[in-house]
Structure 1
Amino acid sequence: MRVAFISLHTSPAERAGTADAGGMNVLIRALAIALRQAGIDVEFFTRRSSPGQPATHVLEDGIVLHHVDAGPPRPLPKSQIDQHIDEFRANLGSLDRFDLVHSHHWMSGVAAIPLAREAGIPHLMTFHSVAAHPNSSLRDGEPAESPARLDGEIYCATQSDLILAVSRHEAAVVIGRCQADPEQVMIVRPGVDTELFHPADGEVWTPDPRVAPGYLLFAARLQPLKAPDVAIRALALLPEAERPHLVVVGQASADFADYEAELHRLVADLDLTSVVTFLPGQDRESFARIMRHASIMLVPSHSETFGLVALEASSSGVPTLAAAAGGLTEAICNGHTGDLVPTHDPRDWAEALLRLLRDPERRARMAVTARERAETMTWAHVADRTLQAYRRAIANGAVKHVTFIHAHPDDETLASGALIAHLVDEGLKVSVLTCTRGEMGAVVPGPLSHLAGTPALEQRREAELAGALDSLGVHAHAYLGMPPARAADEPRRYLDSGMRWIADGVAGPGEQADERSLTSADEAEATADIAAFLRKMHTDLVVSYDDDGGYGHPDHVRAHHLSRAAAEEVGIPFAALTTNRELAARWFDLEGYRPRVAKALRHHRTQLTVHDDDRSITHSGGQPDTIVTSTGLRGEVPHLP
């Protein structure tokens, strides 16, 4: 596969923290390297910003970089570069030798989309940042948005074949403000180089003789949006005896030529000259060393689509104090890998910072947790997820809607909760069809025991299921036999069959099962009802139990056969859930979804108890169990993210 990376306004060869280079530059180059290691040919196209830049250059890591004439061959403020989009497009030329185009930032998309259309290849878009709302206070101290940006972002969002958002926050903005089709937005979070960014392991080092060990670190382009002033003002509010050194790494771009001087004046006015050191943008190795020897990373940005530097801090075993803004709420696990501050008031930042400084044991625990989390977010993982997106865009019949079919409330979360949440986060539409309301199930001993065997139990379990689905992010749900999961005019209820062991390892319906039970229902009628739901939802893939129902429950086994038959009737693939990795056609390791799955399971209070470790549960009958986050799919499994 050959992929064109379009990065009009900034080059992947630029050093992060200088001019307009930042997290996006790091991300696109690291992603390109990881894709190349996976066998994908990636070539970059960027604007020529110096007369001496060759037309084509191979970077030291083997990435091919093309310089395209667009405007004067010198650095330009980002706010002026959009005047040269048409020239960039004209000089970029045909892209028909590529399999797809992946544009980064809105100017790149505006330039590349017409060329992708001419070449007949898919266009994928990653925004990296989206324009501040016209009425947003984030605009204070920032140059005015280009008049073309808002319209350009809408154009990119509505005309691209697929949008890869770096966080749920960015996805929501692209859908809500830029009018993107939710089904065409996938979330692919950034990764981190865990070999480059690693803990200091006891080594004592500082980046400058003036800097005392245990320093605080701020690293970003110096502009009001990144709020370095908040970090400086918070430092001034700390007791002098407990005030660590603050290292500020970064430079201002042409759009903020005076801002860096303003920060130096602020430091002088607050009498912090002896404890604040400014350093220019660093090469990656130098920055990684500065990072791992810091005691706390400060990220007070007013807005971040993700906040890659926070993840790099986690990989370095450095706790992060970050603003609860945008994607930072996803880059940081609040209270575990760092703390989120809900305001930008320096007093709140000083209080939060002081709490961390005074609790070295908590910082040490955060450091371990942060590193463990970072190790699950490598660039190899990101490349794999991105490649899945590329294949989805190239494949004309890509999966857009997955329907999960389960027999009883709580099965959806127990058997497939992590997978459901993952697919929702990737931008796929997910619906759930529940066959019964679990009327025959036992009730957890305690305050809800009186519901057992009463009509009130059905109502309670309906409410519990609604809460669980909301936690997983599912908003399309139906009960079998009720519209839209009904082929006939009159609705009907399929009842829980119950369960009893009728032979060694063989289960059958409970003694109270009757003709209304799922296991007794007419197979053709039930299959038709499922098929009606699949057609109504425009389902592309059906997922349900394996042929043994997971553990043999007769309703589970019945749901498997009915779902498989309905999928065949509609003419779409059927995949079975499995916990056996060797049998899986596709395996999903989704440990990061454990807290979300535990939250969903806690809604099912009549059926199970979730323990405080978020790893184990006890069923209503007293059976201990573990929360499943890794699962596989058997059968016909099309490309999924």
Structure 2
Amino acid sequence: MRVAFISMHTSPAERAGTADAGGMNVLIRALATALQRASGVEVEFFTRRSSPDQPDTTTLDDGIVLHHVAAGPARPLPKSGIDQYIDEFRANLGSLDDFDLVHSHHWMSGVAAIPLARAAGIPHVMTYHSVAAHPNSPLRDGEPPESPARLDGEIHCARESDLILAVSHHEAAVVIGRCQADPERVAIVQPGVDVDLFHPAAPGEAWTPSPAVEPGYLLFAARLQPLKAPDVALRTLALLPAAERPSLVVVGQVSEDFAAYEAELHGLVEEMGLQDRVTFLPGQDRESFAQLMRHASVLLVPSHSETFGLVALEASASGVPVLAAAAGGLTEAICNTHTGLLVPTHNPHDWAAQLLPLLRDPARREELGRTGRERAERMTWAHAAQHTVENYRRALAKGRVQRVAFVHAHPDDETLASGALIAHLAEEGVTVSLLTATRGEMGEVVPGPLSGLAGTAELERRREAELAGAVDSLGVAVHAYLGMPPARAAGREPRRYLDSGMQWVTEHVAGPADSSDERSLFAADDAEAVADIAAFLRRTHADLAVSYDDDGGYGHPDHVRLHHLTRAAAAEVGIPYASLTPDRAKADVWVELERYRPRVLEALRHHRTQLTVHDEHHITHSGGQPDTILTSTGLRGGVPRLP
């Protein structure tokens, strides 16, 4: 499975806590890595180029392929100003035909990618990571105004995505309630945590991150913006008794949307006389941040809103208790009174009232940390990747065909023209049915022990047996002959359609043989034959009919006739019709299925009266014509998504 991860406004290569990089950056990169390592899913990222030095494509140190797409000036931009370049990003992103599925992260990515997913005929999966605050919400205080396009964009993504993967029950409820998503298309996959990177501090472990502080500090880690409420952490610290006041380490930076906010926080520190107790650090690499985390005494997460709060889970994995706001997904990221404590308000007095007893009780902190670690060990990225793949398969299955009917003229046509495709579809769980119009009565017999069957009734029985063996080898679920139930219109007696034979009328046009019977397929009444094929399509519940192209592959009149008859029957039933073609230039869908060659060979060897298999690549037909065994297949016309 090949998946395109679209992250327009921020790159997975950015360090969390810098500019607009945060938990989403950590989540998408960790998930992509886990998908590739544990699930065999190939993931490629597409993000906006924010520097002229960034290459078109690069491979990150964990093997993730990252594409930089031109959209707007090649420099960092405030998130609030990026959405004006969505159309340019989409245009330069180009086709997604090489992928099986596209997973967009954040609303701008979804708006950009949905039309491309539709054009490629692949599912679009959406994860919001954050949803715009309601226009009347107090969460907007101190925040720049939302982009006018965001609210409509989020609703568009909810309505048009095949599946929405929410990171928490809280986010799922918001997406359903505010963005109008269909609950049937919303699933929850909570983030994971790297329990090898984030782990409790070992006794006597060396301390290196910052000489300015000693282990045992309070930790706040997030982008510096009002929504994350670092001011609550600072005011809470000021309310603690001076003799018991620990240090507070603030890890994070501002983005262009909040350029003046860091100065406000420094001013607040000076106003409250906390200069010697507060240390500001920039965003850290993952290893340094993990060390900072495990040497903290308590993690503070006072955010006004979080879709999940990944940093809280990382604290639990590090054996560090969490004091968090009872807001959004934070109520799911920690278990109240088991892995941390939830504060129902953002009043610093309420926070100090919860924090001080915790600081005075090392045994309680140790208990919360131990329980948090045990919980985190059950929430790894491998688990998150497994649940994500299950939902990807759900999206793929929902949008693709489930039952395909192949219609062929003679025994051996099914394997020669479409054997690899039939085997592939059957293996992928698609119910494949096969309708054969004739027994190939006019065909020659391979010279040798069976040549005496030519022109006898025994030849027909023999070819029926050969076809049964080939059908079984390919994995066909239902097989019938045209004119016999279930391929016979209701209320009509069974009938046989006979092989029409073939002769060249002109250099490029073939017709039936002079010796063909009036019961031949070529001579059959159009309405009767269409009704019989339609009966088969209905009774097998086919959602796609496949037969020859309009030239019949090589011009056989029965092939050409079946193209027109099957196409008409599919239209009558109301399902798509796709034509087989060996010409890649004509194909709307082209599939390389070399790994099914052994299955195709096994099926061909059943047709002993019609052809001789020489080796893995060559056969000779009964008339002496040499041929090459094909496993690549093309389809034209109304081709829905195939597995």
- Indicate the residue corresponding to 1:110 in structure 2: 111
In 2, Cα distance between the equivalents of 1:203 and 1:364? 17
**How far apart, CA to CA, are the structure 2 residues paired with 1:76 and 1:114?**
25
CA shift digits 1:396-440 (9 cap, x unpaired): 279xxxxxxxxxxxxxxxxxxxxxxxxxxxxxxxxxxxxxxxxxx
C-alpha distance after superposition, 1:74-127 (max 9, x if no partner): 000000000000000000000011000000000000000000000000000000
Partners of 1:218 and 1:248 within 8 A in 2: yes
1:358 to 341, 360, 367: 360
Q: Which amino acid aligns with 1:335?
A: T
Match of 1:68 in 2: 69
Match of 2:148 in 1: 147
Q: Is the 8 A contact 1:190 1:382 kept in 2?
A: yes
Displacement of 1:19:
0.2
**Residue equivalent to 2:20:** 20
Which residue matches 2:584? none
Q: 2:59 corresponds to which letter in structure 1?
A: V
TM-score (norm 1): 0.62
Which secondary structure does the structure 1 equivalent of 2:265 belong to?
Answer: helix
After superposition, what is the alpha-carbon deviation per residue over 1:249-307, rounded to whole angstroms, capped at 9, x for unaligned?
Answer: 00000000000011011001100000000000000000000000000000000000000
1:341 to 330, 340, 343: 343
Shift of 1:355: 1.4
CA distance in 2, matches of 1:209, 1:72: 39
Cα separation, 2, equivalents of 1:152 and 1:168: 21
Alignment root-mean-square deviation, CA: 0.9
Cross-structure match for 1:5: 5
- Post-superposition Cα deviations, 1:339-362, rounded to whole Å, max 9, x if no partner, equal 000000000011111011011111
| Residue 603 (structure 1) aligns with | none
The one-letter code matched in structure 2 to 1:268 is E
1:217–1:206 distance in 2 versus 1, CA, 3 Å: farther
- Looking at structure 2, the residues matched to 355 and 83 of structure 1 have their Cα atoms a distance apart, in angstroms, of 49
The amino acid across from 1:308 in the alignment is L
Matches within 5 A, 1:127-276: 127-203=128-204, 205=207, 207-276=209-278
Q: 1:289 aligns with which of 288, 291, 295?
A: 291
Amino acid in the other structure paired with 1:212 = E
Q: Secondary structure at the match of 1:230?
A: helix
Cα distance in 2 between the residues matched to 1:353 and 1:208: 24
Give, as a single letter, the amino acid of the residue that structure 2 aligns with 1:34.
A
**Counterpart in 1 of 2:333?**
331
Cα displacement (A) at 1:210: 2.5
Q: Which residues in structure 2 correspond to 1:417-456 (within 5 Å)?
A: none
Q: Cα gap change, 1:92/1:283 in structure 2, threshold over 3 Å: closer, same or farther?
A: same
Kindly report which structure 2 residues correspond to 1:475-486, keeping only aligned pairs within 5 A, or say none: none
Structure 2 CA distance for aligned equivalents of residues 368 and 201 of structure 1 = 13
The reply on whether 1:120 has 2:121 as its aligned counterpart is yes
Is the 1:206–1:293 Cα contact (8 Å) retained in structure 2?
Answer: no
1:99 to 2:110 alignment? no
Aligned residue identity for 2:183: P
Alpha-carbon distance between aligned partners in 1 of 2:334 and 2:277, rounded to the nearest angstrom: 27
Change over 3 Å in CA distance of 1:100–1:396 after alignment to 2: same
Residue aligned with 2:398, SS: coil
Percent sequence identity over matched residues?
Answer: 79
For 1:9 and 1:218, locate their aligned partners in 2 and report how far apart those are by CA, in whole Å: 24
- Separation of aligned partners in 2, 1:5 and 1:209: 39
Deviation of residue 203 (structure 1)? 3.1
CA contact under 8 A between 2:123 and 2:399: conserved in structure 1?
no
Partner of 1:82: 83
Distance 1:332 1:281 in 2: 23
**Deviation per residue, 1:42-71 (Å, 9 max, x gap):** 000000000010000011111000000000
Shift of 1:211: 1.1
Partners of 1:166 and 1:221 in 2: how far apart? 19
5+ residue gaps, structure 1, are 399-641
CA distance, structure 2, for counterparts of residue 219 and residue 159 of structure 1: 35
Larger C-alpha radius of gyration, 1 or 2? 2
In structure 2, distance between residues paired with 1:15 and 1:277: 19
Output the CA distance in 2 between the equivalents of 1:185 and 1:54.
36
Structure 1 distance, partners of 2:92, 2:204, is 51
Partner of 1:491: none
Structure 2 residue identity aligned to 1:325: A
Q: Quote the Cα distance in structure 1 between the aligned partners of 2:399 and 2:4.
A: 23
1:213: how far off? 2.5
CA distance in 1, matches of 2:212, 2:202: 22
3-state SS, counterpart of residue 369 of structure 1: helix
Work out the CA distance in 1 between the residues paired with 2:368 and 2:208. 22
Return the offset for 1:206.
6.2
CA contact (8 A) 1:297 1:310 kept: yes
**Map of 1:380 onto structure 2:** 382
SS at match of 2:19: coil
Q: Any gaps of 5 or more consecutive residues in structure 2?
A: 401-643
Query: What is the aligned counterpart of 2:393 among 391, 394, 402?
Result: 391
Q: Shift of the alpha carbon at 1:202?
A: 2.3
CA offsets per residue over residues 177-218 of structure 1, 9 Å max, x none?
A: 000000100000000000000000223536322213310000
TM alignment of 1:38-57, pairs within 5 A: 38-57=39-58
> 1:482 aligns to what?
none
1:363 match: secondary structure: helix
Residues of 2 paired with 1:143 and 1:302: CA distance?
15
Letter in 2 for 1:271: G
Partner AA of 1:263 in structure 2: L
Cα pair 1:212 1:244 within 8 Å, conserved: no
Q: What is the correspondence of 1:570-585 to structure 2 with a 5 Å cutoff?
A: none
The one-letter amino acid of 1:198's match is H
What is the CA distance between 1:227 and its match in structure 2? Answer: 0.3
8 A Cα contact 2:132 2:150, kept in partner: yes
Amino acid paired to 1:366 = L
Distance 2:21 2:186 in 1: 25
Corresponding residue SS for 1:46: strand
Alpha-carbon distance between aligned partners in 2 of 1:10 and 1:61, rounded to the nearest angstrom: 18
Kept in 2, the 8 Å contact 1:248–1:277? The answer is yes
Q: Is residue 2:337 matched to residue 1:318? A: no
Question: Which residue matches 2:453?
Answer: none
Structure-1 residue corresponding to 2:307: 305
Q: Tell me if the contact between 2:106 and 2:128 (Cα under 8 Å) persists in the aligned partners.
A: yes
- Aligned partner letter, 2:28: I
- Asked if the contact 2:199–2:318 (Cα under 8 Å) also holds between the matched residues in 1, the reply is yes
- Give the distance between the partners of 1:160 and 1:69, measured in 2 at CA: 24
**How many Å separate the matches in 2 of 1:359 and 1:302?**
27
Check conservation: 1:206, 1:290, Cα contact below 8 A: no
